[in-house]
Amino acid sequence: MGSKRSSLNRINGKGQNSQREVRPEVFGDNIARNQLINNKEVLADDKARASRKRGQNKLELKKDQSRLRLYGRRASEKNAKNKQKYTDKELSIPTLNRSIIPGFQVKKGKKGKKLIADDDTLLLTRLVKSIGDEYDHTVESKLEKDRRLQDIRDLKRQEIERKEEAKLNKLEDKKSELKNKANAARSLRRKNQRDANKVTNSSAFVEEHSSKKKKTVSFA
C-alpha cells in the first residue's frame, strides 16, 4: 500500500526531491508568444535561447544564471552593459609584422566624391569612353574595342604625365620660394651687421676725440 502511495506521489509531483514548475500554456504557444513579445519574461527567455544557439559557452551561461540568482535581473543587465570592450589602438598593442604586397598601397584620407573641373576635357573624354558603352550596350567588333581601349590607355598616360608635371612645377615653386626667403634673410642679416658696425665705429671715433686733450697756451 505504501509503495503504491509513493509511486502516486511521484507521478503527481509530491515526492521529497521533485521540483514542479507551473508555467502558463501561453508562453509555450508560439502565436501567443508573438502577441506577448513586449513581455519582459518572454524577451529574456528569447535572449537566453538565442545566446545558446549562437554557441555561448556553458560556463558563461552558468555565470549569468548565478549572477541572476544572486543580484537579480536588473543588476545583471547593468553589469553586462558596463563591460567595456577596448580596441588594440586604445590598449596600445603593437601591430604585428605583415608581408608587404608589392604595388599595393592602402588608400588614406577622406572618402568622398571626386569633383571634376568643367574645363578638364582629358578626364571627361576618358570617362565618356570608358563608361558610355557599358550602359549603351553598343555592339562593337574586336578591332573597334581594341582601338577604344588603346585610346583610354593613351588618355590615362596623358593624365599621369600631367600630374607628374604639376608635381614638378609645385616642387620648383617651393624651391624658388625657399631660395627667395633665404636670400631675403641673408640680405637682412648683412644690413643689420653693417648698421651695427657703423654704430660701433661712430662711438669709437667720438671716444678718440674726447680723449685727446686740447693744447692750451698760457701767457705769463
Rounded Cα distance, 177 and 161, in Å: 24
Place of cell 660701433: 200
96 in any annotated domain:
no
Average pLDDT rounded to a whole number, residues 187-208 = 84
Rounded Cα distance, 33 and 215, in Å: 128
Which of 43, 78, 113 is a domain's end point? 78
Domain that holds residue 142: 121-206
**What would you report as the CA-atom Rg of the chain, rounded to the nearest whole angstrom?**
45
Average of per-residue pLDDT values in the chain:
73
- Does one domain contain both 73 and 141? no
DSSP 24-53: -HHHH-HHHHHHTTT-HHHHHHHHHHHHHH
Number of domains in the chain: 2
- Answer whether 152's CB lies under 8 Å from 126's CB: yes
| Residue 93 in grid coordinates | 598593442
Which of 78, 113, 138 is a domain's end point? 78
20 in any annotated domain:
no
Per-residue pLDDT tens for 38-91?
Answer: 666 666 666 666 655 555 577 777 887 787 777 776 666 666 666 667 777 777
